[in-house]
Each structure stands twice: as structure tokens, then as C-alpha cells.
Amino acid sequence: MKCTTSLCTMILILAFGATSAWAAGPTDPQIAAIVVTANQVDIDAGKLAKSKSQSQDVKEFAQRMITDHGAVNKAATELVQKLHVTPEPNPTSESLQKGGDDNLAKLKTLSGAAFDKAYIDHEIAYHEAVLSALDKTLIPSAQNAELKALLVKTRPAFEAHLDMAKQLQSKLSKSGA
Amino acid sequence: MRSWLPCLGLAALFLSSDITAADEQGPTKGAVHTVVIENMQFTPAELSVHRGERIVWVNKDLFPHTATAASHAFDSGGIAAGSSWTYVASKAGEYAYGCTFHPTMKAILKVQ
């Protein structure tokens, strides 16, 4: 897979950045900001793909990302309100946002099969990066039991999305798209 | 008057045992099976039921799922987070089913 600079930066920051930025790991308010941003950038990419792709498969996948990540964010927002935690922007959440913005900017210059391929390739890298961050940083660092439980509960969805994206990538390449 | 009381008690006993007997006579009508949808999985992944029994799919995930037979013998449509869908198994057979939203989710329903 071709790795763009913004994508590589995002993966590195997600996988390792959080641990190096905070020796003791991110705090719960910082984790909350990372979770909300991570979901939001995928919702934004999904909205663009749903409106721009010509492929029914890609449109359906994009809709699933919008629905599922939207639901995770709704649950996360409700939980942080209940816990009186204010999401605190931090280098990881800011880099995620920048990675998401760069991805959107790139996707907007593409169309047709090139758009579908770039969108799905990025979805695979994004879900792999988030899974790595969940396992190595976010879940181990979460202090509040309910926040930790929410992170654990969302993990299988990221895994399923990754499998779905990989299957779609393979289908697109077979169809010559 | 006092001699009636044991009779009444006995009648009540019969009555209650009748109700139980009626329930037990029709297990294929009364039985309800639950499939929990959680963590992107159907649990149990394989379920055997008798014709006429009810199956309730309970979605405990944060987002919608479906329970859709590959043959389209049944299709729940979207089951919202925290909601459930009930299906009465009417035809014998083995039904592979899954979630149309998340193709990685698969399970089997066996109707005897």
C-alpha cells in the first residue's frame, strides 16, 4: 500500500505519539478528545465518499462508517457529559484532525476508481492505526472504568470495519476498478 | 362450611396444575430463544429451534444490525441499538444468516 506523508504521520502519532508525548499516557479528558476526533474524521471521510463515489459498494461502506462511528461518538459524548469530563485537545487529537483534513483535501482532487481506491486504502490504514492506539495507549491509559469499557466495547467494530475495508479493497482490485 | 375449604384448595391446585400442563403441552408454541447481538457477533452463533418457536434477536451494540437469511427467508431490517426483533420459525431448514450492514457477522439458525 502506498503511504502518503499525512497518513504515515497519522499512523506514527496514533501508534506511538501518545505514549511518547505523555510518559504516563494520556489522561481521560485527552482520551475523550482523541476518541471523538478519531470518529469524526472517519465520519467526514464517509460523507465525502458517500456523495462522491460511483460505486454502490463504496457508498454502502461509507454509510456504515457514518452510522457506526456516529453512534460511537454519541455514546462517548453522553458518557463524558455524565462523567463531567471536558475533552481536552492534545497533540494526538490535533494530528488526527490534521490527518483527516489532509485526507479530505487529497480525496477531493480524485474521482472515479482512483477516488475509491484512495478512500478504501486510507480506511484500512486508519482502522489499523486506531486499533493499535486502542490496544497500546488508549485502553491501558483510561482511568475511568466506564470510559475504559466504552473503548473495549468499540474495539470489535473497528476490527469488523477493517475486515470489511480489506474485502472491499480486494473486490475493487478484482473488478479492475 | 368448614368442610368446603379443603375442596376449594384442591380445586385451586387442579386449576394451577392445568395451566402448567397446558404450557407444557405446547412447547413448540411457547418456547422463546434469544440471540444476543453484541461485539459484532451473534451469540449463540448456532441455534436449533422447533417449528413454531420464537427467536428474539437483542441488539446490545451501539449501532444498528440486521438478522438476514442468505436465502432471504427472513430479514429483520435494521435493528436499532438497544432494540430487538422477533421471528417465528415456520419452515424447517438450516438457515445461514448474517448482518447485511456488517458482512463479517455470520450465524446459523436450524429449524426442526
pLDDT tens profile A66-109:
999 999 999 999 999 999 999 999 999 999 999 999 999 999 99
How many CB atoms lie under 10 A from the CB of residue B104?
A: 17
Are B75 and B56 within one domain?
yes
Cell reading at A5: 506523508
Res. B30 pLDDT band, cuts 50 70 90? confident
Residue A15 Cα distances to A9, A19, A89, A147, angstroms: 10, 8, 17, 19
pLDDT score recorded for residue A23: 58
Are B79 and B41 within one domain?
yes
Res. B10 pLDDT band, cuts 50 70 90? very low
pLDDT at B15 over 50: no
A156/B41 CB distance under 8 A: yes
Are B36 and B23 within one domain?
no
Q: What are phi and psi of B44, to 5 degrees?
A: -75, 150
A64/B102 CB distance under 8 A: yes
Are B15 and B40 within one domain?
no
Q: What are phi and psi of B30, to 5 degrees?
A: -90, -25
Are B72 and B40 within one domain?
yes
Are B37 and B92 within one domain?
yes
Are B38 and B21 within one domain?
no
- The reported pTM is 0.82
Note down the domain range covering B62.
31-111
Are B57 and B17 within one domain?
no
ipTM above 0.90, yes or no: no
pLDDT digits (tens, 9 = 90+) for B37-84: 999 999 999 999 999 999 999 999 999 999 999 999 999 999 999 999
pLDDT digits (tens, 9 = 90+) for A128-160: 999 999 999 999 999 999 999 999 999 999 999
Q: What is the CATH number of the domain that holds B100?
A: 2.60.40.420
Are B13 and B68 within one domain?
no
Are B35 and B21 within one domain?
no
Are B38 and B19 within one domain?
no
Res. B26 pLDDT band, cuts 50 70 90? very low
Are B50 and B78 within one domain?
yes
Domains of chain A and any CATH numbers? 5-15+27-172 (1.20.1260.10)
Res. A110 pLDDT band, cuts 50 70 90? very high
Contacts of A77 in chain B (CB under 8 A): none
Specify the 3-state DSSP secondary structure of B26. coil
Contacts of A164 in chain B (CB under 8 A): 102-104
CA distance B63 to chain A (A): 6
A160 touching B (Cβ < 8 Å): yes
Q: Per CB distance under 8 Å, which residues of B are interface residues toward A? A: 39-41, 61-64, 81, 101-105
A130-137: which pairs have CB atoms within 8 A and are 24 or more residues apart? A130/A14, A130/A38, A130/A158, A131/A155, A131/A158, A131/A159, A131/A162, A132/A11, A132/A14, A132/A15, A133/A14, A133/A15, A133/A18, A133/A34, A133/A38, A133/A92, A134/A158, A136/A15, A136/A16, A136/A19, A137/A18, A137/A19, A137/A25, A137/A26
How many domains does chain B contain in total? 2
